Amino acid sequence: MYINRINPQTNFKAVNQKYFEWAKKDYSLEKNVSTEWLHRLSYDVFLFKEISPRDGVDTIEAVKKYMNKTDEGIEDLLQIFKNPNP
């Protein structure tokens, strides 16, 4: 998976471009990310381990900056990535 390094002025280090672009497309159509986006990102972090939890957090943080308002689904996934073993 392609990870894009972000400039040092942001509070995150890496954003998965596949998921960032997918979220932008979802947001332009529905003003939110799709349930499929949330599931696939969580699968790639926890099941397939193709994305680190830290990169998952960074990707969600970048998506949140792009969106005007987020819902519970994206906020819940962000908390799970930040604390995978509650």
Question: Which pTM was predicted?
Answer: 0.82
How far apart are the two ends of the chain, measured CA to CA in Å? 28
pLDDT digits (tens, 9 = 90+) for 44-58: 999 999 999 999 999
Q: Work out the angle between the directed axes of helices 53-66 and 72-82 (0-180°, nearest 10).
A: 150
> Which residues are CB-contacts of 57 (< 8 A; sequence separation ≥ 6)?
12, 78, 81, 82
Place of tokens 């400039």: 7
Q: Which of 8-12, 42-46, 56-60 has the lowest mean pLDDT?
A: 8-12
